[in-house]
A and B are shown apart, each in its own frame.
Chain A
């Protein structure tokens, strides 16, 4: 099992290793200016120092907290509003114009106006992240709720299920594949907005550090933090995919 998995990802890893080795050689040979791009080995050493000293913990936790809080709040709003709009036509007519108006606006452009009202603290950053999370979750939930099989809903009705019980125990589980697909899109966007908000707010976190190191011309450190951010993104994705597979294990019924 493990060996098979290893064999499957080996070619991709080889390409990656080759690319890093090529970069190292190019920098060492003077083809790329060292000031702009230190050799990967040097970045690796800097990264090791950051990790060994424990210096990485605080900024990582700050960004992680921001992503989680914004993701949780945005997902909750998206699921609740999407379910309501998918279930009650009146709720759909009420909120659809608002959703269609705000949805196409790049949420990054809303960070500056948000700063006017909420300052540059955690509240502003969480709000920015939550805003970008809401829409993919909302639209997918809406679609999932509308797609619940009529026969299943009739089964609940003939057995006397009430609306609340039906929504919670039938509609939401049935729509879960859609909800989770929306959340997976939103998780990536949450990280983007978190980093951007941190850069604009200038108050710590991985995003702030990357910009700050660049401005202080600490280029090696900048790249090291960038690597940490990339690993964070990878880890978030991996964890979410694993949770999703667990939650939807019943979907693999044809496997």
Chain B
């Protein structure tokens, strides 16, 4: 098991009242080399879950283990990819130096810059090293953020709705990119999303969350072989079947 969440509970203090429990004993195992998607209705605390898995946010109770070790700070194996790429990249740094961000404190600025070229090429941004992030489109900026994460050579990639802020076509391009890189590098990924199709397209298993207080409702095997093509995958019977089942579970029409 590369990542284990063991009965993770999160409470936030409220004014005057008892603390609000937004996450209740969530347990989740992510195997090495696996792509797991966490799917849930908006506001169910998916990002909170991911931040706790990354060691960026303390748990109220329960344990997060990475490679068997309980963690209380960001572990060296994992890198977090943020939803808000424009806020996680440094606007005063060129693209190359934003990718060097991942390794400069270990390798020094010069070697980190050299090491930035390969990941930039992998995400299709060779030749854009001297641009500033704000000179690029949203999709390209998220590619820079992915290149930065790859430059750290993580075993575990934690992705927080990384494709939600780009347009639909760009999203498909980025899906293809992530599918290709993760398959080739055998990366372990935990992806948080509210997009059912994205979850099925990318993941091996999908953890379906409940509304607050959040728990894991069910874990679903996707069962579509790799390598996958993000366009063709969407026409498979298994895809459509899963899409129907998941949307049915997620939509609030039963409650309303």
Contact = CB atoms under 8 A, between A and B. Distances in A.
Contact of A173 (B90, B134, B152, B158): B90
Contacts, number: 60
A61 B82 CA distance: 52
A152 B152 CA distance: 16
B12 interface: no
A250 interface: yes
Contact of B134 (A161, A169, A253): A253
Max chain B Cβ within 10 angstroms of own Cβ: one of A149, A158, A165, A253: A158
A152 B135 CA distance: 19
Interface string A129-162: 0000000000000000000010110111111111
B88 A152 contact: yes
A159 B157 CA distance: 11
Given A165-B105, A253-B134, A151 B84 contact: yes
Contacts of A161: 105
Nearest to A159: B102
Interface string A165-176: 100011001101
Interface size class of A (residues with CB under 8 A): 20 to 34
Interface in B138-176: 148, 152, 158
B192 to A, nearest CB: 14
Given A162-B105, A165-B105, A154 B80 contact: yes
A253 B94 CA distance: 13
B78 interface: yes
Nearest to A160: B76
Interface residues of B, number: 28
A250 B56 contact: no
A169 B109 CA distance: 11
A26 B130 CA distance: 60
B90 A253 contact: no
A220 to B, nearest CB: 50
Given A173-B90, A250-B91, A158 B54 contact: yes
Nearest to B86: A151
Interface string A4-17: 00000000000000
B88 A155 contact: yes
> In this complex, which of A155, A156, A169, A170 has the most chain B Cβ atoms within 10 angstroms of its Cβ?
A155
B56 A157 contact: yes
A160 B107 CA distance: 12
A246 to B, nearest CB: 12
B211 interface: no
Nearest to B103: A159
Contacts of B104: 169
Contacts of A169: 104
Given A151-B88, A155-B101, 8 more contacts: A154-B80, A154-B82, A156-B101, A158-B54, A160-B105, A173-B92, A251-B91, A253-B135
For the complex of A and B, list the 3 residue pairs with the smallest distance between their C-beta atoms, beginning with the closest: A158-B80, A253-B134, A151-B87
15 contacts: A149-B87, A151-B84, A152-B88, A154-B80, A155-B82, A157-B56, A158-B55, A158-B78, A158-B79, A158-B80, A159-B105, A165-B105, A169-B104, A253-B91, A253-B135
